[in-house]
Structure 1
Amino acid sequence: KNVIALAAGISDGMGLGANSRAALLTRGLAEMTRLGVALGANATTFSGLGGVGDLYLTATGEQSRNRTVGVRLGRGEKLEDILRDLGQVAEGVTTAQSAHMLALGHGVDLPVTRAVYRLLYEEASLVEVLRDVMDRPMKDEEEF
């Protein structure tokens, strides 16, 4: 959820609007579910308060540190400056690396997570990672 909240914040910081945020949250929830199922979770767990409810709050709440970091990244600020100013932990920054590695190890496709990882750790550009995520072909949303 924290990585997806970063992505939603980035979208907001870039001024992409509510439709883009909704697409990221929807795809992000599917990613959370796919990784969770690969690790032994029940897919229905993610459709309740602890899944979609927590994701929604973290990705849209004004007090969310992860969303705040994402908004500032989306405005073009440097991660190190944001984290210094924040003075608190934004879990999505470290979780992006952990989730990316888990996905690779379990053969799970997490394009939103991979995009955030590339932005944070591989110095990919905002435009490049956004294009990679938004230009993906449509597929069955029931696939976990």
Structure 2
Amino acid sequence: MDARSWRLAAGRDVIASRKSRPSAGRSSVPVRGFPRAVRLGRRSEYQAVYRSGQRRSSQQFIVFFRSNGGEHSRFGISVKKALGGAVVRNRIKRRIREILRLSQSEIPSGWDIVIHPRSTVARAEFASLQAELLRLLRSVVK
């Protein structure tokens, strides 16, 4: 899935917040975030993936997935409270979202995917997280 399809899925370019908008004189480049169209939002959507989907696991992640028959994949991230306080859990989610954002073109389309990080994710380097998560996401298609 390329960056263009995420923009199309969102219906428009994602706009930066006021704090992150460039000041006058700088070029205005749209921020490519994590649009609502590529997110799983409802509990029922997560439950459908758990009930009728498949699962792959690695040392740092457990990935649940099922086909959604759509043009793009949708993602959900679920971090257990056992992994740490809110600051730690939110940092883990931000890192996973950034991996997904940077790797849009390498992620297979047409899947609902729920990502469960394991406890080792909090201390792991970003590059190793990215490599392992992409390997798991590529295995979804096989």
Shorter-normalised TM range: under 0.3
- What is the TM-score of this pair, normalised by structure 1? 0.25
Find the structure with the greater CA-based Rg: 2
Structure in which a larger fraction of residues adopt strand: 2
